[in-house]
Amino acid sequence: MPSLRDIRRRIKSVKNTAQLTRALQLVAASRMRRAQQRVLAARPYAEAMRELIGELAGQSRAAGADLHPLLAHRTVAGVGVVLITPDRGLAGPLNTNIIRRGTEVIMREEGQSLNVQVVTAGRKGQDFLARRGRKLLGTFTGIIDRGAYDDAIPIARLVMDSYASGAIDRCFLVYPRFVSTLVQRPEVVQLLPVEGPATADDAANTGKDLEYIYEPNPGAILEALLPRYVEVQIYQALLETAASEQSARMVAMRNATDNAKELVQTYTLTYNKIRQAGITREVTEIASAAEAMAASSR
């Protein structure tokens, strides 16, 4: 049986941990609110852009015109993977999940004997892949928390340049999509070549049969729209990652705090039991001693 002093020490240590996790929880909670607002505010633009692309891509295919290079499907020899992860840990299973998904994609493509080039944004993914001795095409850190559009531009540039030079013929974007505070889902989307709307539903909503007037012309609009679209996809993924990170951390730290409180309760109970047992023992000892003395003096 542990001594009272041991238990007292344990309780104190658990309480310290609880204080720490609680502080982290509060910080994450306030950052989470901001990050969630940001990602929700940015979604309408990304969606509107997706619809526009679908509209134009359909149009330019129907016209039999030369497809924009970013839309053209080529024979695939090299594949790019953009892996977006948080910079920091203490976010529950989030990092493990997203890195596992990223690794799956890399393995799958390499399994088809394709040359895979990885770009990471976020320290966690970078560290993991670097530890496994993988050479990275590019690494970006310290940008998840900022949520600035300008941070998405160099990543998009790198990917599009590699695509233009023929180093990669297809590119995937892997990031944790923010679904709710409790749910973040690793998501894989094809960044290049740009695909139209994912579902037939989207296409129906935009009114496929409308005869648009294009100014200056579909090609020129695509020319302006596509690079912007790639940037927006990456920007959106950065925001999703930030919201996911803070949400996952908030929940993980809340669980940790709750667990610590429970532990303190169990320890306190044991502590009191042992204390009470000690007192009872002493009382019986004194009582029996007193009785023995009374008996002998009689």
Smallest distance, Å, CB 257 to another protein?
33
Q: Which is nearer to another protein, 214 or 291 (by Cβ)?
A: 214
52 binds another protein (CB under 8 A): yes
CA distance 49 to 227: 11
CA distance 82 to 125: 10
CA distance 269 to 289: 30
| C-alpha dist (Å) from residue 127 to 28, 77, 109, 188, 224 | 23, 26, 21, 20, 35
CA distance 177 to 156: 19
Q: Which is nearer to another protein, 151 or 195 (by Cβ)?
A: 151
224 binds another protein (CB under 8 A): yes
- Give one DSSP letter per residue of 63-99, joined into a string: TTPPPPTTT-----SEEEEEEE--S---STTHHHHHH
- The residue type of 231 is E
The 96-135 contact track toward another protein, x by CB under 8 A, reads ----------------------------------------
201 binds another protein (CB under 8 A): no
Could you tell me which of 41, 2, 141, 37 has the C-alpha nearest to residue 83? 141
Q: Which is nearer to another protein, 141 or 206 (by Cβ)?
A: 206
287 binds another protein (CB under 8 A): no
**Is 175 within 8 Å of 240 (Cβ atoms)?**
yes
Given the rule CB under 8 A, which of 6-14, 71-79, 154-162, 225-233 is the region that contacts another protein?
Answer: 225-233
**Encoding tokens for residue 88?**
């920091």
62 binds another protein (CB under 8 A): no
Q: Which of 29, 49, 90, 203 binds another protein (CB under 8 A)?
A: 49
For residue 192, the surrounding DSSP H or E stretch is strand 184-192
290 binds another protein (CB under 8 A): no
Given the rule CB under 8 A, which of 135-143, 186-194, 204-212, 264-272 is the region that contacts another protein?
Answer: 204-212
Interface positions with another protein (CB under 8 A): 38, 41-42, 44-46, 48-49, 52, 55-56, 149, 206-207, 210-216, 218, 220-221, 224-225, 228, 231-232, 235
